Chain A
Amino acid sequence: MLVRPSLCQVDPLDNPAPALSADVRRRPFFGLFTVPAVVVAIVFTIAMAAILQYSVRAQIPGSLEVGGFTFTNLTAMLRPLYARVFADTVWLCLLTAVISLVLGYPLAYALVRSTNLTVKSFILIVTVTPLFLGEVVRTYSWIVVLGNNGFVNSVLLKTGIIAEPLQLLFTVTGVTIALVHVTLPVVVVMLAAAISHIDPDYEKAAESLGAGPFRTFLTVTLPLSGPGIVAGLTTAFAWTFSAFATPQLVGGGKVNMVSNLVYQLGFANFNFPFAAALCVAGLLLTYLSIFVMRLVLRPMEKIGVH
């Protein structure tokens, strides 16, 4: 997963001028091919700048035009409701990331290490297929499964395990289950890539020195898959932060994430400036959370460099 800089980039300190021209000679279309990326980058920057300037403008009730410069949107975010939605969002993202990791690791491990082709194909199909369905389709199926008359409750009621239907829809539990389903394929694919990079000889060496399979896994395989775990966790976190349809449909307005608030404020309240301010705050919070996560997980990532 980690890119080794020395292999891919020409070190500018090492004889800079010839290196650059050699670089250009080797990749004559480099400039031309980067044009689309630059255009996209410019468009995104302009869009972000527009959101940024909207976030400090006043709302005019009954109109979509925005008023003058103001900080009201930023101070309004400090109200308990909004602070709570931000905290809930971070919590849901963490929960989703960790559960996806715990569920995804054995799957990814079996996917890479299984010698049985049928098992491999089965795991691959089961994990990757959800990616081909849209988020909305997947979420609707969860509504059918989690509802009071849904699959889970019907089975539990019929088998006599519960007397009253479990309230799964419109709760944090329900939203988390659906979010994990959305994130799991990505986490499995990332973990599988990391695990496949671990040289099985390390594990054999551990075994030859007397370590049992459990100890080998804990002391060799797991630490070596550190970069994959870090990448999987942070991607799942950021991925979940932008979730919209899942909390909207499974949360039924009772479990709200930042994206849902942005939608409600923009599309139901016509308060675009406040919605923009929430977008900016959400973006900053994602950066901050990922930065903190990376900081905390850095030791793990280092172990994995092999």
Chain B
Amino acid sequence: MKRFLVSSAALAVTMWAVPAFAAEKLIISSWGGSWKELIEQTVAKKFKADTGADVEFVTGGTIDRLNKAKLAKGNPESDVTFTTSHVGWLYANDGLYETLDMAKIPNAKALVEQAKISPYHIGSWAYVYTIVYRPDLVPAGIKFDSWADLWKPELKGKLSAPDFDTSHLVAVAAKLEGAEAADWKKGSAKLVALKPNFKAYYANDAASQQLMQNGEAPVQVMLSMNAYYIASQGVNVKVAIPKEGAVLGVDTVGIMKGSKNVELAYKFVNTLLDPEVQKEIATVKKGSPVVTNAKLDPEVAKLPGIFTTPEQWDKESLVIDHKLRAEKTGEWRQWFTENVIN
């Protein structure tokens, strides 16, 4: 046992000390867990096969990674960063991203409009935050054709929504009052009126899934991908797309300013937008591809919240301006905490 430990320690030291084996190495910053696996098994796999370069990951939460990137400004730890569309704006505003040269990303020609977030970051896949419910645990006959249905008194003490991002409900309430997210105050009375229906607020994806699974909060403003995941685990959930549209979320990719592997990074981003890779991502995570030329299996394409046609992108999605969201998330969140949660 001891010898085994010594030799494995020696091996570990050698492996750490001789990284020059790999020809070239691209470092990707992403979330851990299933997200890292997703990137690893789809885009990174193809990228490695195409270029011969190696891929390494640094993983962490959205804000942890943003903070680390800020501290390493100019000499980034990673070459390519995955993050949400609005936090991507925080990277951009702090000068952490390269301006993208679209000529070096030929696959981006097929990029949908909604995924062109900024000159610095573009969509990698999309999902929706929408109404997800357990048909067995809500009053019989209730339907979610409109976001307004969430306000029904029969749903008292059944609802949950994320407490880390309240922009979905803020934008929805504004829309129901005929205003845009920028004029969110018009929906504030409506938001307060939703208070009795809340059972709890969830702080992360795992908590959301658990609340749905154990039936504590059978109606949720929930990430579509999470809903499809627990459905695959045998939980009876339905994903509704209200007529006002489901709130679009786009995860994005950007190239770090100061990266020493810019050319390779462009190749990686281009591989990410390859129609086949986009199809694989959509199939694994049940999200929308961000290019128009990805051919999804009909079984996947028909799922609510997966957009494959321009009409779906236009009619079924409710888009909150990403830059506005980056600037306002804090204010909305604070207002929501002070007036709805407490």
Binding site for B on A (CB under 8 A): 59, 61-65, 79, 81, 84, 143-144, 147-150, 169-170, 248-249, 252-254, 256, 264-271
Contact = CB atoms under 8 A, between A and B. Distances in A.
Interface residues on B, range: 35 or more
A63 B90 contact: yes
Contacts, number: 86
A271 B334 contact: yes
A253 B200 contact: yes
A249 B204 CA distance: 10
Interface stretch (B107-115, B208-216, B241-249, B304-312): B208-216
Interface in B230-276: none
B41 interface: no
Given A148-B215, A252-B200, A252-B201, A270 B337 contact: no
- Identify whether the interface residues of A are mostly helix, strand, loop, or mixed: loop
Given A84-B342, A267-B164, A270-B63, A254 B333 contact: no
Contacts of B330: 59, 61, 268-271
Contact of A266 (B63, B202, B337): B63
A170 B203 contact: no
B179 interface: no
- Identify whether the interface residues of B are mostly helix, strand, loop, or mixed: helix
Nearest to A253: B201
A136 to B, nearest CB: 10
Given A252-B201, A264-B337, A268-B164, A64 B215 contact: no
B6 to A, nearest CB: 26
A268 B333 contact: yes
A81 B336 CA distance: 12
Nearest to B62: A267
A35 B230 CA distance: 52
A260 B146 CA distance: 33
A253 B94 contact: no
Nearest to B157: A167
Interface string B120-160: 00000000000000000000000000000000000000001
A144 B337 CA distance: 26
A254 B202 CA distance: 10
B40 interface: no
Given A253-B341, A271-B330, A271-B334, A62 B93 contact: yes
9 contacts: A144-B214, A149-B215, A170-B200, A253-B163, A253-B341, A254-B200, A254-B201, A267-B63, A268-B329
Interface string B28-67: 0000000000000000000000000000000001010011
Interface string B162-205: 01110000000000000000000000000000000001111100
Interface string B314-342: 00000000010011111101100110011
B94 A170 contact: no
A254 B163 CA distance: 10
B210 to A, nearest CB: 7
B70 interface: yes
Contact of B89 (A62, A79, A256): A62
B207 interface: yes
